[in-house]
Chains A and B, each alone.
Chain A
């Protein structure tokens, strides 16, 4: 196991080298002048020239690359070029947790919501719920991320009452539907304790839905238009609240993708003999779905979720810009604007390391989830 892990880690080295090489030369092609970023637009030509010479920008790109690589291998990421100059390591240490939090929250929202929706859709494929969720999923995938963010800002921040009423009405409607289904499906269960228990579960579920909707209606959180509160500053709740809309913006498209993927795998799994056997034995549907069908159906989801987490880490640029979040995305965008090559290089490298590590973890998780893979290797 350790040997396999070591070999995989070694394989990452050339990948990261190529990433750093590609980034450096691409950045060199990007237009921009750090001297203007440093001095603003009111300096004299002589001042701009002096700054360029001072920063070593008159050296060849190859020389600059190897200078940077040498320093990085010694653990020195250097200082940012543009003022206020600061340690690149400190910058990344400050920004990375924000991006990780947003990406993680987006992933948790996506996985949780998509599993619930996929289970419900796969339970009765082709019925109303399945069709509605599938149609909505296609729409959500088609909407670009920046538009999702702006729509969320428009409704949640500036038309809050509309959203509150929508939540209330949707909650009541959902509860009524659950109640109707409970009454209609009461004969699915044999008379006696089983039937009473099923009715009680649905009643509690309906009450929970309506209660949650009323709670949200009465105490709808005040989300900020911009900015971010770190957990270390004001605690967990303000940080979660500030990160919620950005995370939801990222999650919308992921929910749709995950849901479609898992739904299809679940429908296939639900045709397996052992599921039919469980049904024949009278196992409750929720138990069959959650305990028997979900795990073997989740391989594709885990693969895609792993790739998506890496993508979210590097892809928060838009959402961080829209919500003005101090994460890696805005750090890279601002650094590109100022052609701060040291910051760009190091940030991209950190994202790349994260990305390949996540994919490594996904690979390793397969063998834990599917014992056949472990045995096959032996």
Chain B
């Protein structure tokens, strides 16, 4: 058994090293994206592109940015690039600013080798010291980075030479590159950060190694980026890149159809369905368990496993899908949706109204009064989901009190005050690395675990997932987690969420990464 694990680790290291190093030697390979296999060349330089994002970028400093594709990550990727990128086609991480990223035998140490000749916008050379200092900004709690929790996995950073840095982790993590493909992998120039002070968040000129610099940033209105003329990575084809925020997926898609914008980040299932019906090309990603029902397992009625089982039997994802999304969503009770690359036939608990009623009877017989408190967001979608949940719970004999509140109050009520029995929630699991969010959501003491779930078996299963050396082992670990999940019901999965980035026929070479993040490094406008 031990020998088998070692062999798997060796094979995984060999494959990972091969992929990362090989790609680093010859430059990033052209990925077969829906936008075409080709890349930017000198002859294709020129053009402007506008992208409609989901929400306003909170800032251009990676320690302030929220790091998701629709909420500002694409903007900062264009400014800073990332050390590595997740390639959904191969399910591997490929080097971008890094030349290679190699793990040791048990994935507890990762050696990062930087490319030579990489420079920041102000001309400073990229060094291992800059990477270390930049990463440390995410570990500093004062900066409140969205990647703070994950960045603490790195216990020490050792500079080997000006272009080599070794990350020492607190425990084995086979998908550690996910971190360097995200906010902590966007290296900021320490001298520019220091010089700009608080203004760095809105005016980081010269502070990144990405292909673009900020031309104008009018928060709440638009961000205009201009291409660098002498980018270390070669020509930058799209000369002007604009990001705007349009309220609502339908309005965003309308603007796309009117050619006001050439890329549109869409999340509403009915609008995505429209785009697909219209034959719009684009990049689609799945957030597994993007819609869930969180259960307060620490206190209140949902702390009783019998009540949780009753709820699991009562909640039919298809009913919620019909009511809230007109049947256009991706309903399912499994942690991993069948459209995901991680799907391996996992099944969640089956809804069964009769069994739900029976379980409710039993719980009532044991002393439960049948009442549940459910805070709800007062948005159209939130209302529809809550009403469907209430209807199904009450059909099984429960009595649900809905408490309407603004989205921000809802988050406070659930996450901070923990004043709920059940609530519509989200636990988006990245295809690249589901372990990060799963650990936060259902790991003992996890930062996003307001339900207070704690289970030693689950913790062990999560550790196994984190250390799983290859895709097969990850799927196997996920199967183990699903089994414990079905048995203990930390919360209920009701759907996966699809994110769709609609892309105009004229725009080619856009590359996709994790969390719906995209890269414009090699993109161009095909006239």
**Which residues of A are at the interface with B, using a C-beta cutoff of 8 A?**
30-45, 47-51, 82-86, 91, 94, 153, 157-158, 224-228, 321-322, 324, 326, 330-331, 334, 337-339
A326 to B216, CA, bound (A): 14
A337 to B198, CA, bound (A): 24
B408 at interface by CB-CB < 8 Å: yes
Are the CB atoms of A31 and B202 closer together than 8 Å?
no
Supposing A32-B409, A37-B408, A51-B144 touch, asked if A226 and B416 sit within 8 A by C-beta, the answer is no
**In the A-B complex, the 3 residue pairs with the closest CB atoms:** A326-B221, A31-B406, A36-B408
A50 to B143, CA, bound (A): 12
**Residue interface bits B201-217, CB-to-A below 8 A is 1, else 0:** 11000000000000001
Partner of A157 from the list B59, B254, B407 (CB cut-off 8 Å) is: B254
Which chain A residue shows the least CB distance to B244?
A: A227
| CB pairs A–B below 8 angstroms (20 shown) | A30-B406, A31-B406, A32-B408, A33-B411, A35-B412, A36-B408, A38-B144, A39-B144, A41-B411, A45-B416, A51-B144, A83-B59, A84-B64, A225-B255, A226-B246, A226-B255, A226-B260, A227-B222, A326-B221, A337-B408
B18 at interface by CB-CB < 8 Å: no
Supposing A326-B221, A331-B220 touch, asked if A31 and B408 sit within 8 A by C-beta, the answer is yes
- Extra contacts besides A31-B405, A51-B144, A157-B254 (8): CB < 8 Å: A30-B406, A36-B411, A85-B198, A85-B201, A94-B218, A158-B257, A158-B258, A330-B220
A157 to B56, CA, bound (A): 25
Are the CB atoms of B409 and A33 closer together than 8 Å?
yes
Supposing A36-B412, A45-B416 touch, asked if A226 and B244 sit within 8 A by C-beta, the answer is yes
Which chain B residue shows the least CB distance to A322?
A: B251
Are the CB atoms of B408 and A84 closer together than 8 Å?
no
B415 at interface by CB-CB < 8 Å: yes
Which chain B residue shows the least CB distance to A160?
A: B258
Are the CB atoms of A47 and B58 closer together than 8 Å?
no
B64 to chain A minimum Cβ distance, whole angstroms, is 6
B66 at interface by CB-CB < 8 Å: yes
Q: Which residues of B contact A82 (CB under 8 A)?
A: 58
A121 to B481, CA, bound (A): 76
> Which residue of B64, B255, B416, B447 has the most chain A CB atoms within 10 A of its CB atom?
B416
Which chain B residue shows the least CB distance to A86?
A: B219
B179 at interface by CB-CB < 8 Å: no
Are the CB atoms of B201 and A84 closer together than 8 Å?
yes
Are the CB atoms of B58 and A84 closer together than 8 Å?
yes
> Which residue of A36, A37, A38, A224 has the most chain B CB atoms within 10 A of its CB atom?
A36
Q: Which residues of A contact B217 (CB under 8 A)?
A: 84
B130 to chain A minimum Cβ distance, whole angstroms, is 23
B104 to chain A minimum Cβ distance, whole angstroms, is 30
B146 at interface by CB-CB < 8 Å: yes
A57 to chain B minimum Cβ distance, whole angstroms, is 12
B57 at interface by CB-CB < 8 Å: yes
Which chain B residue shows the least CB distance to A41?
A: B411
B448 at interface by CB-CB < 8 Å: yes
Q: Which residues of B contact A84 (CB under 8 A)?
A: 57-60, 64, 201-202, 217, 219
Are the CB atoms of A86 and B202 closer together than 8 Å?
yes
B155 at interface by CB-CB < 8 Å: no
Q: Which residues of A contact B440 (CB under 8 A)?
A: 42
Are the CB atoms of B416 and A48 closer together than 8 Å?
yes
Interface residues of B in 55-105 (CB under 8 A from A): 56-60, 64, 66, 71
